[in-house]
C-alpha cells in the first residue's frame, strides 16, 4: 500500500465539499427569511454547523490517513528487512554454491579429459591393430607369406610327372600285352609245326612198319634193313612221344599266355580307369584348391577393405574427439567465471550496509563473459574455410 500525502485537493474533497451544502443552506434560509436578526442568526448557525461538519469530516479523514501511513511504514519496514534478509541469503547461497559448482565443473572436466584420453588410446590401439591387419592381408595377397599360388603350382608340377609315370607304366603294360599277343601267335605257329612234325613222324612210323614188313622178303640181306626199319620206327615212336609232349607244352603255354592276356586286358581296363580317375581327381583337387584360394583372396580383399574403412572411420573419430579440447576450454572459462562471481560477491559483502545496486555491473560482467566464451567457442568446423586449416608464415 503506498503512502498517502495530504493535499489541498483532499482537504476540499473531505472537508470543504461536505460543509458547502450546509453553508449554502444557511445562506438560502437567510435570503428567504430576509436578512433579519433571526434569519442571519439561523444562517450563521447553518454556516457554523456546516463548517463544524466539514472540520469533523476533515479530522476523521486525516486520522484515517495517519493510520494508513503508519501501517504502510510498518509494512515497508518489514519488506525492507525481508529484502535485506533475502539479499544476505542470496549472497550466502551464491558464495556457497559457486565453489561447489566450480568444483563440479573442474571434476567433470577432468573426468571427461581422462575418459577421452582413455577412449583415444583405445581407438589408437584399434587403428594400430587394423593397420597390422591391412599390412598382413596385403602380404597375403602378394603371396609374400603364404605362397599359396606357389604351393598349388608346385603341387601341379609335382603331380604331372607322377601322372606321366603312370601313363608310361600303362604304356609298358600295353607293350607287354602286345608281346604276349605276339608270343601267343608264335605259339600257335609252333603248335602248327608240332602238328606237322607229328604228321611226319606218323609217316616215318608207317614207313618203318612197311619196311619191317617188307624186309623178310629180302631174306638175309633184308635183316639189316629190318633192324634199321625197327630202329627208325622206335625213333619215330620216341619222336611221336616228344612231339606229343611238345604239343602239350605248347598248348599249355598258349593257355597260359591266353590267360595272361585276359588278365592283362582286365588289368589294362582297370589301369585305364584308375589312371583316368586319378588324373580327374588330381585336376579336380587342384581346381578346388585354386577356387578356394580365389575365395580366400576375395575374403582377404574384403577383410582388408573393411579394415581400411574402419581405420578411416576411427581416424575420423579421433579427429572428432578433438572437441574435448574446446569443451575443456569452455569448462575452464565457466570455472573462471564462477570464481570471478564469487570474488565479486565477497567484495560487495565486505561493504556491509553500504552495499547498493551500482556495485554490481551486470552488463559489463555479462559482456566480459560473452567475450570470453566467444574466444573459446570460435567458429564451428563446418563454418571453417579449409584454407584456414594450414598457413605457412
Partner 1 sequence: MAKTILIVDDSASMRQVVGIALKGAGYEVIEASDGKDALSKLNGVKIHLIVSDINMPVMDGITFVKEVKKLDHYKFTPIIMLTTEMEQEKKLAAKEAGAKAWVTKPFQPPILLAAIAKLVLP
Q: Say if CB 303 and CB 140 are below 8 A apart.
A: no
Quick one: which of 304, 200, 186 has its CA closest to 253? 186
Say how far apart CA 225 and CA 284 lie, in whole Å: 84
Nearer to partner 1, 120 or 306 (CB): 120
Say how far apart CA 177 and CA 260 lie, in whole Å: 8
CB of 309 to partner 1, least distance (A): 17
Half-sphere exposure of 160 (CA within 13 A, CB side): 6
Q: Which stretch binds partner 1 (CB under 8 A): 1-9, 198-206, 347-355, 382-390?
A: 382-390
Quick one: which of 309, 391, 365, 384 has its CA closest to 133? 309
Q: Which stretch binds partner 1 (CB under 8 A): 56-64, 181-189, 277-285, 385-393?
A: 385-393
Q: Which stretch binds partner 1 (CB under 8 A): 27-35, 84-92, 170-178, 373-381?
A: 373-381
Q: Which stretch binds partner 1 (CB under 8 A): 76-84, 193-201, 355-363, 379-387?
A: 379-387
The residue within the footprint of partner 1, chosen from 16, 120, 258, 349 (CB under 8 A), is 120
CB of 313 to partner 1, least distance (A): 14
Q: Which of residues 98-117 bind partner 1 (CB under 8 A)?
A: 113-114, 116-117
Greatest CA span in the chain, whole angstroms?
Answer: 250
Burial of 249 (0-12, 13-18, 19+ CB in 10 A): middle
CB of 121 to partner 1, least distance (A): 7
Say how far apart CA 10 and CA 234 lie, in whole Å: 195
Does residue number 5 form part of the binding site for partner 1 (CB under 8 A)?
no
Angstrom distances, CA of residue 65 to CA of 4, 16, 59, 83, 374: 7, 17, 10, 26, 57
CB of 328 to partner 1, least distance (A): 5
CB of 338 to partner 1, least distance (A): 16
What Rg do the C-alpha atoms of the chain give, in angstroms?
71
Binding mask 319-348 toward partner 1 (x if CB under 8 A, else -) reads xxxxxxxx-xx-------------------
Nearer to partner 1, 10 or 332 (CB): 332
Nearer to partner 1, 105 or 127 (CB): 127
Nearer to partner 1, 230 or 328 (CB): 328
The residue within the footprint of partner 1, chosen from 121, 234, 287, 361 (CB under 8 A), is 121
Q: Say if CB 311 and CB 127 are below 8 A apart.
A: yes
Does residue number 126 form part of the binding site for partner 1 (CB under 8 A)?
no
CB of 384 to partner 1, least distance (A): 7
CB of 90 to partner 1, least distance (A): 31
The residue within the footprint of partner 1, chosen from 1, 158, 382, 390 (CB under 8 A), is 390
Question: Can you spell out the DSSP letters for 291-347?
Answer: HHHHHHHHHHHHHHHHHHHHHHHHHHHHHHTTHHHHHHHHHHHHHHHHHHHHHHHHH
Nearer to partner 1, 297 or 326 (CB): 326
Does residue number 382 form part of the binding site for partner 1 (CB under 8 A)?
no
Burial of 222 (0-12, 13-18, 19+ CB in 10 A): middle
Say how far apart CA 72 and CA 337 lie, in whole Å: 41
Does residue number 384 form part of the binding site for partner 1 (CB under 8 A)?
yes
Q: Which stretch binds partner 1 (CB under 8 A): 15-23, 88-96, 254-262, 374-382?
A: 374-382
CB of 86 to partner 1, least distance (A): 37
Assigned C-alpha cell, 358: 551500482
> SS3 for 24?
helix
Cell 584308375 -> residue: 274
Q: By CB under 8 A, name the binding residues for partner 1.
A: 113-114, 116-117, 120-121, 124, 127, 131, 315, 318-326, 328-329, 375-376, 378-379, 381, 384, 388-393
Amino acid at each position: 500500500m503506498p503512502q498517502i500525502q495530504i493535499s489541498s485537493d483532499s482537504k476540499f474533497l473531505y472537508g470543504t465539499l461536505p460543509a458547502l451544502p450546509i453553508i449554502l443552506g444557511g445562506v438560502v434560509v437567510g435570503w428567504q427569511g430576509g436578512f433579519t436578526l433571526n434569519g442571519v442568526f439561523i444562517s450563521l448557525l447553518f454556516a457554523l454547523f456546516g463548517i463544524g461538519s466539514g472540520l469533523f469530516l476533515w479530522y476523521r479523514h486525516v486520522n484515517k490517513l495517519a493510520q494508513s501511513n503508519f501501517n504502510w511504514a510498518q509494512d515497508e519496514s518489514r519488506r525492507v528487512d525481508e529484502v535485506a534478509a533475502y539479499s544476505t541469503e542470496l549472497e550466502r547461497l551464491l558464495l556457497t554454491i559457486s565453489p561447489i559448482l566450480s568444483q563440479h565443473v573442474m571434476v567433470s572436466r577432468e573426468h571427461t579429459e581422462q575418459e577421452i584420453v582413455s577412449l583415444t588410446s583405445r581407438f589408437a590401439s584399434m587403428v594400430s591393430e587394423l593397420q597390422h591387419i591391412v599390412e598382413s592381408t596385403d602380404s597375403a595377397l602378394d603371396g609374400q607369406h603364404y605362397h599359396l599360388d606357389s604351393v598349388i603350382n608346385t603341387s601341379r608340377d609335382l603331380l604331372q610327372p607322377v601322372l606321366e609315370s603312370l601313363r608310361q607304366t600303362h604304356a609298358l603294360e600295353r607293350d607287354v600285352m602286345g608281346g604276349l599277343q605276339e608270343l601267343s601267335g608264335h605259339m600257335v605257329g609252333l603248335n602248327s609245326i608240332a602238328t606237322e612234325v607229328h604228321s611226319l613222324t606218323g609217316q616215318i612210323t608207317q614207313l618203318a612198319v612197311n619196311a619191317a614188313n617188307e624186309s623178310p622178303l629180302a631174306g638175309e640181306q633184308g635183316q639189316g634193313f629190318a633192324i634199321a626199319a625197327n630202329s627208325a620206327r622206335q625213333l619215330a615212336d620216341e619222336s611221336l612221344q616228344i612231339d606229343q609232349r611238345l604239343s602239350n607244352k605248347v598248348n599249355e603255354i598258349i593257355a597260359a599266355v591266353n590267360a595272361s592276356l585276359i588278365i592283362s586286358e582286365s588289368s589294362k581296363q582297370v589301369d585305364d580307369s584308375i589312371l583316368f580317375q586319378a588324373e580327374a581327381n588330381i585336376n579336380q583337387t587342384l581346381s578346388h584348391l585354386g577356387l578356394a584360394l580365389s575365395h580366400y583372396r576375395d575374403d582377404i580383399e574384403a577383410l582388408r577393405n573393411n579394415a581400411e574403412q574402419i581405420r578411416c572411420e576411427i581416424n575420423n573419430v579421433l579427429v572428432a574427439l578433438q572437441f574435448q579440447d574446446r569443451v575443456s576450454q569452455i569448462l575452464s572459462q565457466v570455472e573462471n567465471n564462477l570464481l570471478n562471481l564469487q570474488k565479486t560477491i565477497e567484495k560487495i559483502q565486505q561493504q556491509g550496509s553500504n552495499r547498493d545496486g551500482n556495485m554490481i555491473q551486470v552488463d559489463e560482467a555479462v559482456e566480459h563473459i560473452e567475450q570470453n566464451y566467444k574466444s573459446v567457442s570460435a567458429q564451428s568446423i563446418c563454418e571453417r574455410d579449409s584454407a584456414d586449416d594450414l598457413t605457412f608464415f
